[in-house]
Amino acid sequence: MRKFSILVAAVLVLAGCSAEPEVAATDLWVKSSESSLAGGMTAVYGTLTNNTSADIVLTGGKTDAAGVTEVHEMAMINGQMKMQEIDGGLTIPAGQSIELEPGGNHLMLMQLTADLLAGDEISVTFSFTGAADLLVDGIVAKPAEGGDEEYHSTEMDMDN
Amino acid sequence: MVTRRGFLGTGAAAAASGLVGVAAGAGATNASASQNLETFVAKRELSFHGEHQMGIEADLQAVTNFIALDIKPGTNKASMLRFMSLITDDIQRLTRGEPVLADPAPELAIGAARFSAYVGFGPSLFSKLGLQAMQPEGFHELPAFKVDKLQEQFSGGDVLIHVAADDPIVLAHGTRGLVRDSMPFASVRYVQSGFAHTPGMVPAGITHRNLMGQVDGTANPKFGTKDFDSVVWIDEGPTWIQGGTLLTFRRIAMQLDTWDQLGTPSKEEVIGRKLSNGAPLTGDNESDTPDLAARHPNGLTVIPDFAHIRRAAPAKDGERIFRRPFSYDAGISSSGSVDVGLLWTAYQRNMDEQFIPIQKRLDELDLLNSWTVPIGSAEFAVAGGVESGEVIAEALFS
Ligand code: HEM
Ligand SMILES: [Cu+2]
């Protein structure tokens, strides 16, 4: 008897979940450093969670804060850790989370439109294949140690 | 477009509102997995939001850092506001035992452990930013006292972040996060580290001992009383300071080599209280009221004329302070002398009416001065408390 009522409760909870967004963003932040001045670059970090039962791919984003937004990974190129755009975007497996973190995958913001100072906030719209766009406001700029990865690109060389 | 200050409670939370189900779900899993690893000490939280900043009207924690910062040239009101919004968010997370945003070592957020932090501002900040009009009444640099042997390295500061916790790792991790987020705006002037008893060592509410051996803190106003409010919390003046308080921070060295040459009766006469339990020399229990008029048959006062508690007792109504001293231990010399003392604090509404008259009296006569030397000194105006979504000292820098 008891088991039965628990099962009913579980079903109700599951039903409640349908109101969830397909992708959820937690603890997003953007790096403020010497590179994050107007014309410069920075990156957005945090956790993205896929609440659906199919894979979703992060393909890029849009923000007033930057001219160019790309999904980046870190890769060993000629014996050096460099960052580069991920071909085809970054997959968030069904029901799982991915971390965007310094030294790892990140949403790169280039050609910043204004100085991004510690404590500033920006809005970013994340774009996906397999899910609707996700607008996140109030992404705060946190000071973080250099660690600014070298950029590897076939189109333009932005090494710094 | 870059905007400011929405992320505290509103921005990021609102943006993330849709993920409440997920976040809560994930949190629950983590909690159940680690629940039996969390101890009583780790779990205890102090509350961040409220009328007053945290970590003042609270039992002493085990360890503390007084972090004094000097603002960088070019720092203005707008940058102070960004600074405070970062710090406010950090403190809020740390008090829940969570890592700060962008924490490079989130694994060190192992529990709240009664972590607390509050922020205050020195007189130098008001002059640097041209904010003299916002300076609270009875708040300014202290006059010089005869007993002072002040050292620059322990004195002053534009901004104070005073952190404390029941665990040294939690404290170090929290300190690191707060300092990291201060660096775009300020440089570190000093960090003074101190300690009190560890949790469970003395029952809550029992007065701690200092390194001279004395029960220290007896005559303090009691938490949660009108009396405490009237001694400590400011309820007038510029809005930013309402609910706040004024801190006098003194690093006071103890000369234990000579102190230890005294016998117990002499040590007790210096203070006017017993070493065993902190009772006044005219009573049996710590809570007994000292009888300053009582005399020995030979006519001498039982609590001597030079005794610390006689000299420090209020000369008039309202001339009281709330003391929350931590001990410090800065090492031992090759000849075996300890470098110890108090990170001594007085919280009050008005320094001209509270700390200064008391200190002036002690400066004239207090036998305790023979074994204690103030070697550092600073004053900070501690902003009022914040509610969810507000930034510490927002009204001062807006
Ligand atoms: C290392 C320095 C100091 C030590 C070791 C010390 C120690 C003590 C002790 C043991 C007591 C008695 C118990 C109690 O009520 O807490 C006391 C009381 C007190 N002390 Fe100090 N103290 C120091 C410095 C100061 C200073 C600098 C001030 C103020 C300028 C001060 C103000 C007071 C007051 C107001 C009381 C309560 C007096 C009363 O009974 O009305 N103390 N102190
Ligand atoms: Cu990149």
What pLDDT, on the 0 to 100 scale, is given for residue A153? 55
User: Is residue A29 in some structural domain?
Assistant: yes
B229 CB-side CA count, 13 A: 9
Predicted confidence (pLDDT) at residue A62 exceeds the cutoff of 50: yes
Per-residue pLDDT band at A152 (split at 50, 70, 90): low
Q: Is B115:B221 a contact under the CB 8 Å cutoff?
A: no
What is the residue range of A105's domain? Answer: 21-142
More confident residue, A132 or A153: A132
Q: What angle do CA B355, B191, B260 make, to 5 degrees?
A: 65
- Which residue from B107, B112, B108, B80 is spatially nearest to B93, judged by alpha carbons? B112
Q: Is B214:B96 a contact under the CB 8 Å cutoff?
A: no
Distance from CA of A8 to the nearest CA of B (A): 18
User: Is residue A15 in some structural domain?
Assistant: no
User: Is residue A137 in some structural domain?
Assistant: yes
> Between chains, do B7 and A64 touch, taking CB under 8 Å as contact?
no
Pure H helices in chain B: 11-15, 20-34, 40-43, 77-95, 123-128, 168-182, 226-232, 256-259, 264-271, 308-312, 355-364, 394-397
Q: What is the residue-averaged pLDDT of chain A?
A: 85
Structure tokens at B368: 């305790």
Which tens digits make up the pLDDT trace of B149-174? 999 999 999 999 999 999 999 999 99
Chain centroid offset of residue B4 CA: 30
Report the pocket of ligand 1 as residue ranges, CB < 6 Å: B 210, 212, 214, 216-219, 250, 252, 254, 271, 273, 308-309, 312-313, 321, 341-342, 344, 355, 358-359, 362, 372
Total number of domains constituting chain A: 1
Q: List the residue whose alpha carbon is closest to atom 18 of ligand 1.
A: B309
Candidates A121, A134, A136, A139: best to mutate against B (most CBs of B within 10 A) is A121
Which tens digits make up the pLDDT trace of A73-129? 998 888 888 999 999 999 999 999 999 999 999 999 999 999 999 999 999 999 999
User: Is residue A149 in some structural domain?
Assistant: no
CATH number at residue A31: 2.60.40.1890
> Between chains, do B2 and A120 touch, taking CB under 8 Å as contact?
yes
A17 CB-side CA count, 13 A: 19
Per-residue pLDDT band at B7 (split at 50, 70, 90): low
CA atoms of B309 and B324, how far apart (whole Å): 16
Helix/strand/coil for B126: helix
What pLDDT, on the 0 to 100 scale, is given for residue A16? 41
CA atoms of A34 and A27, how far apart (whole Å): 22
Predicted confidence (pLDDT) at residue B278 exceeds the cutoff of 70: yes
Q: How do the domains of chain B map onto residue ranges?
A: 45-397
| ipTM above 0.90 for this complex | no
- Give residue for tokens 């700390």: B355
